[in-house]
Amino acid sequence: MTGDETLFEVTSAHLNTGLRGLPVGTCFTSFVTPTEGVHYCGYPIAELAEQEPEDIVYLLFNKELPNDEQRVKFVEDLQSRGEVPEQINEVFRSLPKDGHPMDWLSIGIHVLGMTCLTGDWKEDALNMVAKMPRVMGLMFRYREGREDNIPEDNLSQTMVQRFVNTLDFESVDKEKMGKIVATYLVLHMDHGGGNLSTFTGKAIASGHANVYSSMAGAMNALSGPLHGRANQSCLEFVLKVGTDDPIKVEEFVRSELEAKRPIYGFGHAVLRAEDPRATVQFALGEKICPDDENFKIIRTLREVAPKVLAENPKISNPNANVDIASGALLHHVGFTDPTYYTTFFGWARVAGIGAQIFDERVVMRDGKGVPIYRPKYIAEGQTLRHLNQ
Ligand code: NMX
Ligand code: MLT
């Protein structure tokens, strides 16, 4: 981009639309197109789905995939940052067990901020990424009252292995669990600059709150049912449907719409086709759990719901979004409580939001950083004369 190109004509019709579609900045980590979905540093997401999560963290921070040597060095570097402070155990032990896991996650991130802050944007962002697997595992353990015999953190493991090792669930296929979690992380790490949680995190950081405080705020934004918590609502919805019979599923969808409840797992603010992240997860499910009861239900929902939603011309995108399939896959490998699902989304997003905060604070505007966010709001009845001042 050069000079003062006109990117968008703002009219009064754009007011109070949640900034929908208004260009407000540049994003170096990813972009989202309405038909092809998210691209991380230019790579369409489907091309990256099989990569290791560590490779994608490297990509988001360095804007290129690592070669073999860079990968080894980066994994070692992350491992050296992974230790979590002892205080997190005390804090988690004291939290209400019925508090929502997203609140636990946000508090866990604040504890990291209070105990591990360096004040360097990139160091703090990478340290947080490295500590997340253990924080996630501990959150499950303490919230479920499984406080005894928590395995030591094994820092020489991958991020996903450290999480699975900390959980130490009995009678689960740890390899399958690892594969689902790894794919989940890769698919959810970033989604352009304007999704609500990323935008919120960057806005908070623009006032020079540290990365941890900014990330905790981003997690709170992600916890809403129209944003990240849609994955929890979606599996709850699937369990409520309880059948893969297309006729009954259609009846259920219609009755939810009549009751003015959202059809979770469908629709998007930017996408106008099925989200490729959903397509990847459906393909994975067909491979690992085609006969799983929940998977069969979402397969039917994917067929039925878009047709019903498309009857309403107000709905811009009746197709499946990222949240339709993730719950069924997580459930299949042993995560049977849907209230945890958004924490996986949050865990993944720490990488993308951390990288975007780093770019906005340290790289953009020749290193000066983006100034404090301050969009303009217009008072009801304000005159044109006032507006132009
Ligand atoms: N079920 C019921 N109504 C819907 C849906 C849906 N899946 N999608 C859109 N609408 C309604 C929407 O509520 C709005 O109604 P109204 O004019 O009465 O306020 C109207 O259709 C137009 O909305 P759109 O312009 O199509 O979508 P918008 O950009 O406002 O919202 C979502 C996008 C994602 C919030 C919306 O599609 C939705 O609520 N989907 C269900 C929840 C969900 O799956 N969210 C996860 C999104 C992904 N994520 O991680 O954030
Ligand atoms: C996301 O991944 O953040 C969601 O799809 C929401 C969005 O992009 O607005």
Mark whether 95 and 204 lie in a shared domain. yes
Residue 361: pLDDT over 60: yes
Residues 76, 178, single domain; the answer is yes
Which of 293, 309, 332 is the C-terminal boundary of a domain?
332
Ligand 1 atom at minimum distance from 20 CA: 29
Statement to judge: residues 117 and 242 lie in one domain = no
> Is residue 380 situated within a structural domain?
no
Q: What is the DSSP letter of 170?
A: T
- From the candidates 39, 227, 331, 332, give the one annotated as an active-site residue: 227
Judge whether residue 381 has pLDDT over 90: no
Per residue in 94-125, pLDDT tens?
999 999 999 999 999 999 999 999 999 999 99
The protein residue whose alpha carbon is closest to atom 8 in ligand 2 is 195
Is residue 292 annotated as part of the catalytic site, yes or no?
no
For residue 255, being part of any structural domain is answered with yes
Judge if 113 and 127 occupy the same domain.
yes
Residue 142 scores a pLDDT above 90: yes
Query: Which residue's CA lies nearest to atom 9 of ligand 2?
Result: 195
Percent of the chain with pLDDT over 90: 94
Looking at residue 90, its pLDDT comes to: 98
Q: Are residues 234 and 224 in the same domain?
A: no
220 plus 257 within the same structural domain: no
Flag whether 351 is in a domain: yes
We report the CATH number of the domain holding residue 326 as 1.10.230.10
Report the pLDDT value the prediction gives residue 5, as an integer from 0 to 100.
Answer: 85
Q: How confident is the model at residue 248 (pLDDT cuts 50, 70, 90)?
A: very high
How much is the pLDDT for 338? 97
Residue 226: nearest ligand to its CA?
Answer: 1
| Residue 30 alpha carbon to ligand 2 centre in Å | 12
Does 243 score more than 60 pLDDT? yes
- Proximal ligand: closest to the CA of 229: 1
Q: Is residue 11 in a domain?
A: no
Long-range contacts of 50-53 (CB under 8 A, 24+ apart): 50/183, 51/186, 52/158, 52/182, 52/186, 53/158, 53/159, 53/160, 53/182, 53/185, 53/186, 53/189, 53/348, 53/351
Task: Using alpha carbons, select from 248, 351, 380 the residue that is nearest to residue 301.
Answer: 248
328 & 351 share domain: no
pLDDT digits (tens, 9 = 90+) for 255-292: 999 999 999 999 999 999 999 999 999 999 999 999 99
* 286 and 263 part of one domain: yes
Residue 295 located in a structural domain: yes
Active-site position among 191, 323, 331, 359: 323
pLDDT band (50, 70, 90) for residue 388: low
Give residue-wise pLDDT tens across range 314-345.
999 999 999 999 999 999 999 999 999 999 99
Please give the structure tokens belonging to residue 343: 């924490």
Residue whose CB lies within 8 A of the most ligand 2 atoms, among 233, 322, 344, for a mutation test: 322
Residue 379's pLDDT is: 86
For residues 79 and 190, membership in a common domain is answered with yes
Among this protein's residues, is 227 annotated catalytic?
yes
- Average predicted confidence (pLDDT) for the chain: 96
- Tell me what pLDDT residue 2 has: 62
Centre of ligand 2 to C-alpha 73, Å, is 31
Phi, psi at 11, each rounded to 5° = -120, 175
* Shared domain check, 322 and 237: yes
Task: Quote the ligand 1 centre to 316 CA distance (angstroms).
Answer: 8
The one catalytic residue in 268, 331, 332, 359 is 268
For the cut 90, the answer to whether the pLDDT of residue 240 exceeds it is yes
Centre of ligand 2 to C-alpha 197, Å, is 8
pLDDT digits (tens, 9 = 90+) for 8-56: 899 999 999 999 989 999 999 999 999 999 999 999 999 999 999 999 9
Non-local CB neighbours of 268 within 8 Å, separated by 6+ positions: 275, 316, 317, 319, 321
pLDDT at site 83: 98
Ligand 1 environment, Cβ below 6 A = 226-228, 230, 262-269, 314-317, 321-323
List pLDDT tens digits, range 262-272: 999 999 999 99
Atom of ligand 1 nearest to the CA of 345: 50
Q: Which residues line ligand 2 (CB under 6 A)?
A: 191, 195, 268-270, 322
> In angstroms, rounded to a whole number, what is the distance separating the alpha carbons of residues 348 and 188?
6
The residue whose CA is least distant from atom 2 of ligand 2 is: 191
| 24 occurs within a structural domain | no
Does 382 have pLDDT greater than 80? Answer: no
* Ligand 2, atom 7, residue with closest C-alpha: 195
Residues 193, 284 within the same domain: no
* Whether residues 138 and 203 fall in one domain: yes
Give the closest residue to 162 by CA, choosing from 53, 317, 35, 24: 53
**pTM confidence score:** 0.96
Query: Does the pLDDT of residue 3 top 90, yes or no?
Result: no
The two three-digit tokens of residue 242, written as one number: 């309880």
Rounded Cα distance between 110 and 104, Å, is 10
Residue nearest to atom 14 of ligand 1 (CA): 315
Residue whose structure tokens are 């989304």: 345
Kindly give the distance from the C-alpha atom of residue 273 to the centroid of ligand 1, in angstroms, as a whole number. 14
**If pLDDT is split at 50, 70 and 90, which confidence band does 387 have?**
low
Average pLDDT over every residue of 140-157:
97
* Residue 8 maps to a domain: no
Domain span at residue 269 reads 230-332
Q: Which ligand is nearest to the CA of 268?
A: 1
**Is 268 a residue of the active site?**
yes
Q: Is 213 among the domain residues?
A: yes
CATH of the domain at 166: 1.10.580.10
Could you tell me the distance, in angstroms and rounded to a whole number, from the CA of residue 271 to the centre of ligand 1?
Answer: 11
Mean pLDDT of 138-158: 97
- Tell me, what's the pLDDT at 384? 57
Q: Indicate the number of domains in the chain.
A: 2
